[in-house]
Structure 1
Amino acid sequence: MQVSEMKYGERAIQEGQLITFPNPRPGRQYTIEITLPEFTCKCPFSGYPDFATLYVSYIPHEKVVELKAIKLYINSYRDRYISHEEAVNQVLDDLVAACDPLYMKIKGDFAPRGNVHTVITVEHHRQTESLC
């Protein structure tokens, strides 16, 4: 069996970072909704693949996450052994760290496996500074 070199898509996923850009309307609260229907990871117990649709909804503060960067970031989970709960929480943590939104909600709707359907929902509310 011949070992092949890494494909350009695999390299892009491996090197991908969550890139942001300035919010074009920082004085206005608006919601960005992103659907990621091809999320995959591996069960940390069995090694079987898990498939999910991730729904990301957020109100940006000063930065917005670039969509191609999110795609590459999400694809980096495909070979990762991680539970549904940890995966959705980690995605939230990483996106919040990248763009510091006013609010963010992520719902991971995992495809049924073994007659079990799992939906994980996590939220982040930006801490506001006290005026006291």
Structure 2
Amino acid sequence: MIELKGSNWSINQVRGVVNLLKDSSVFGQVAISSLRLTVLERVHRLSPKLDTQLIVSGWRKVRASLGMVEGYNAPASSLTRSRVKRLHRKGILVVGGYADSPAQWRALARLGVDGVVTPSVREYSEWAR
């Protein structure tokens, strides 16, 4: 996951990132994430095969952008098992936002998310074994 931080990435700035990825061996293994749908639309315009993931703060933004991205990074508080299943049926990846304890990881796992954003990578990888 490569996050394009900030709110105003120009088409030329996005092109630079996309070109770097196209010239790399990881192109098919990464997705671009952003808080801004407009940034992800620019990614799609330049490289339709590159997956995108919108970082959202709540379910309202998910509903408003369905069909425009391949995945969502959503806080656990906005996710339910039925919402995750609904997105999965549409082929959409769901990552549970910022979790840094085994209790939070278990809760996200019960929801059926595809991944977790965590600052505790080592601890999470040990827990996930």
Larger radius of gyration, structure 1 or 2? 1
Q: What is the TM-score normalised by the length of structure 1?
A: 0.27
User: Going by fraction, where is strand more abundant, 1 or 2?
Assistant: 1
User: Going by fraction, where is helix more abundant, 1 or 2?
Assistant: 2
